[in-house]
Amino acid sequence: MSVLQLENVSKEYGSLLALDRVSLTVQRGEFVCLLGASGCGKSTLLSLVAGLDRISGGTLDIGDRKVSLMFQEAALFPWLSVRANVELPLRLQGAGRAERRRRADELLEIVRLRDFGDKRPHELSGGMRQRVALARALAQDADVLLMDEPFGALDAMTRDILHDELERIWREQELTVLFVTHNVREAVRLGDRVILLSSRPGRVIEDFAIAHARPRRIDSPEVSGQAAEITDRLRAEVARHGN
């Protein structure tokens, strides 16, 4: 069953065409990665799906499903504890104090930070802060998790660890994920599909199925081989745009 459908979706900012007739269907439980050169409209597409901006043309159908959006920066409130940061969406939903604490502790357990609920964000590493941000996104009980380069600022080892954690949570929570990245290997490591967008204006130019068995390693021959294929296609697109 599809949870998200875009049909010929365009987005204009004045005279600038950011997205041009993008069509994309995401099935329930899929992990779909969006890939493309800087400025191709990946983040714009997430903003449209999240309802933060309006499409200029075409149709976008997500039904009555809820979405949550996670950014590259954790964007935690520094004066609040880890637990209180996770509780914020629950507070907005009207949950009582006891229910907020119970659910926040449950979510911190899911991201393996149960013992850090009373800490402040500055006491955590970058990877741990991103786990808190993920727990806060999960607190919204969304059907679709939108992730905008959430690991882009992390070192390679931390990123690799969080790939494993995200894959585990995706499976356990039966999430649908739309994940934006610049990192081709990351996309192949995580995705069921990799959608390649053209340089601006963004169009879907390739839809790569990723059929390698899970769990995957980012440096495995299978991941490396398909990443090289996608990189060649991306380079050709960037060169075409540059010329």
Mean per-residue pLDDT, 72-91: 91
Is the confidence at residue 243, as pLDDT, over 60? no
* Dihedral sign of CA atoms 70, 71, 72, 77 in order: negative
Report the pLDDT value the prediction gives residue 59, as an integer from 0 to 100. Answer: 96
Per-residue model confidence as pLDDT tens digits over 131-168: 999 999 999 888 899 999 998 878 888 889 999 999 99
Mean per-residue pLDDT, 169-193: 94
d(CA 227, CA 184): 6
DSSP 213: P
Mean per-residue pLDDT, 78-105: 91
SS3 of 166-179: the string is HHHHHHHHCCEEEE
Report the pLDDT value the prediction gives residue 200, as an integer from 0 to 100. Answer: 84
Mean per-residue pLDDT, 80-97: 91
Contact 193, 207 (CB under 8 A): yes
Question: In which residue are the tokens 């905008």 written?
Answer: 148
Report the pLDDT value the prediction gives residue 242, as an integer from 0 to 100. Answer: 62
What domains does the chain contain, in order, with CATH numbers?
Answer: 2-65+143-242 (3.40.50.300), 75-141 (no CATH)
What percentage of the chain carries pLDDT values higher than 90? Answer: 69
pTM attached to this predicted model: 0.92
Rg (CA), the chain: 18
State the average pLDDT for the chain.
91
